[in-house]
Amino acid sequence: VPEHVWRINLDVPEEAQQNLSFGAADRWWEQTDLTKLILASNKLQSLSEDVQLLPALTMLDVHDNQLTSLPSALGQLENLQKLDVSHNKLRSLPEELLQLPRLRSLLVQHNELSLLPEGLGQLLTLEELDVSNNQLTAIPTSFALLVNLVRLNLACNQLKELPADLSAMKSLRLLDCTKNYLETVPSKLATMASLEQLYLRKNKLRSLPEFPSCKLLKELHAGENQIEILNAENLKQLSSLCVLELRDNKIKAVPEEITVLQKLERLDLANNDISRLPYTLGNLPQLKFLALEGNPLRTIRRDLLQKGTQELLKYLRSKIQDDGPGPNEEPPVTAMTLPSQSKVNAHAITTLKLLEYSDKQAAEIPAAVFDAVGTNPVATVNFSKNQLREIPPRLVELKDSVCDVSLGFNKISSVSSELCLLHKLTHLDLRNNVLTALPEEMEALKRLHTINLAFNRFKVFPSVLYHLPALETILLSNNQVGSIDPVQLKGMEKLGTLDLQNNDLLQVPPELGNCENLRSLLLEGNPFRTPRAAVLAKGTAAVLEYLRSRIPS
């Protein structure tokens, strides 16, 4: 730092030597002392003790330099309110720093500190303290004295525990403990009445802490931990919560009590072990963002998850009426109950055009389910996860409106001619059945563009599929298909996705490389020798190119 910077308050400016007639702006003897000094983003390796010649400084910013220590003279800057020494190479802070009577903001993030001065609590005026991205293993107990602190950032250190005394920080609104080694949070922290934002991401927490007094807590971020259980009691205390982020944990269930969080706007539960959700989640009035991907959800189809939060909430709301007694209990039939109402979600039929009777382990679809449709047009039918041995014959009654039929996870062994009359069908899901063949009459399904036949018992590629011009997606993984006809496949101009993983293909015909419309060709898990796994790993375009290169000229 040039010497005259330190002496700027003391030295008479050069122009005073020459110019003897001063205008009002040039009256240097009336100038005020320097209050802000910014030396950031240079290559300073040390700061001079001469900094004490600038006693009026309220702000000193030396962030992003190469400082390994700070001058003890800093302690004499009794007007200093903000000190930014972040992004340097500091190993310690001088004790003299603790004498600054007006310091409000101390930023020391991104240094090499392994401990903080024990007397840090003497900085009673401190409102903001950032010690993130250092190598701290402990916090001085005197922290408890920082009763005016509003923001405290401890992220990216090596803390294994937090001192319970932090609870004395009655003004603290933001506490960031991201990326440490915390296994628990002291129960006393729950008395921090002003706390609004708490970040606990990337630690080793096994359960969500309790917060009985944190009535103002608006954001709780606890993703990337090892939380398994969401305790209903804990949730009840968080009545002001707007953001609850719990992604990448091991949560298995979401309690119904989550609906007490009436102010919740964002709920992130991605990548957990959740298999079912309380449908009442759909009733949270403020919820704008709900992330659920990466969970083994049984009740919600993956395509629904991709349609976004509002569609998902609409679906959950539609299921609330439906979610009465469990699958084996019949609802009580009163004199006022029509037989159809006891079985079917009539609301879903009228508003969502959805006829659903899934996950009931039923051997057949009750007549009342079809009777409930009346004259309503039904676009989507979901009869998956039952024990059906045949396609329900009455499906044909819906032929003028139905376009999406799910019959997966049943015991269906053949496709009946009734199904072939559903001329508006675009999506057909028959995965996880015991099918070995498809009838030629399916040629009539001219609009069909997606068919899912995974996990069946096909030994040959169903030839009728070659004659469905609109087909875009064929999912045929986990069968026993031994061969495919590349010439017929090439004629399927719309086909973009062909999944043949885990079949019995002994060879892949090189002519398959001519099917240049294919954007996704999946062949892993077959016994063929070529293309080798390394080629398959490069993706569809590389596989097709490799196959073309093998066509005999």
Are residues 164 and 192 in contact, defined by beta-carbon separation less than 8 angstroms? Answer: no
268, β-bridge pairs: 245, 291
pLDDT band at 212 (very low <50, low <70, confident <90, very high): low
pLDDT band at 343 (very low <50, low <70, confident <90, very high): low
Mean per-residue pLDDT of the chain: 88
Q: How far apart are CA 505 and CA 488, in angstroms?
A: 17
Tens-place pLDDT, residues 86-118: 999 999 999 999 999 999 999 999 999 999 999
Are residues 80 and 59 in contact, defined by beta-carbon separation less than 8 angstroms? Answer: yes
**Residue 26 has what pLDDT?**
57
* Residue 68 DSSP symbol: S
Residue 444 lies in a domain: yes
Tens-place pLDDT, residues 290-325: 999 888 887 787 778 778 888 889 888 888 765 444
CATH for 436: 3.80.10.10
Distances (CA, A) of 341 to 282, 324, 361: 22, 12, 19
Q: How many domains does the chain have?
A: 2
Which of 87, 112, 137 finishes a domain? 112
Residue 528 lies in a domain: yes
Does the pTM surpass 0.75? The reply is no
Domain span at 37:
1-12+31-112
pLDDT band at 502 (very low <50, low <70, confident <90, very high): very high
Q: Which of 203-212, 384-393, 495-504 has the lowest mean pLDDT?
A: 203-212
**Residue 28 has what pLDDT?**
52
Tens-place pLDDT, residues 50-85: 999 999 999 999 999 999 999 999 999 999 999 999
pLDDT band at 326 (very low <50, low <70, confident <90, very high): very low
pLDDT tops 50 at residue 340: no
Higher-confidence residue of 307 and 410: namely 410
136 C-beta neighbours (distance < 10 Å), count: 19
* Residue 31 DSSP symbol: P
Which of 112, 132, 148 finishes a domain? 112
Sign of CA dihedral 290, 222, 185, 240: negative
- Burial code (b: 16+ CB inside 10 Å, e: under 16) for 379-407 equals ebbbbbbbebeebbeebbebeeebbbbbb
Interacting residues of 314 by C-beta distance below 8 A, sequence separation 6+: 282, 352
Residue 523 lies in a domain: yes
Tens-place pLDDT, residues 143-190: 889 999 999 999 999 999 998 888 889 899 999 999 999 999 888 887
Residue 361 lies in a domain: yes
At 315, list the tokens.
């679906």
**Residue 276 has what pLDDT?**
83
Query: Phi/psi zone of residue 479: left (φ > 0), alpha (ψ -120 to 50 degrees), beta?
Result: beta
Residue 199 lies in a domain: no
At 182, list the tokens.
């915390």
Q: How far apart are CA 440 and CA 517, in angstroms?
A: 25
**Residue 24 has what pLDDT?**
52
Q: How far apart are CA 314 and CA 128, in angstroms?
A: 43
Counting every residue, how long is the chain? 553
Q: How far apart are CA 268 and CA 448, in angstroms?
A: 35
**Residue 335 has what pLDDT?**
33
Taking residues 265-284, report their average pLDDT.
Answer: 91
Residue 146 lies in a domain: no
Taking residues 431-443, report their average pLDDT.
Answer: 95
pLDDT tops 80 at residue 333: no
Which of 112, 138, 154 finishes a domain? 112
Taking residues 489-502, report their average pLDDT.
Answer: 93
E strands within 479-531?
497-499, 520-522
**Residue 331 has what pLDDT?**
38
Q: 75: closest CA among 55, 92, 105, 47?
A: 55
- In 3-state terms, what secondary structure has residue 419? helix
Q: How far apart are CA 104 and CA 130, in angstroms?
A: 12
Higher-confidence residue of 295 and 334: namely 295
Residue 497 class from Cβ within 10 Å (0-12 exposed, 13-18 middle, 19+ buried)? Answer: middle
Residue 5 lies in a domain: yes
**Residue 341 has what pLDDT?**
38
Distances (CA, A) of 288 to 28, 283, 423, 553: 59, 12, 38, 58
Interacting residues of 409 by C-beta distance below 8 A, sequence separation 6+: 384, 385, 386, 431, 432, 433
Question: What percent of the chain has a predicted confidence (pLDDT) above 90?
Answer: 67
Residue 325 lies in a domain: no
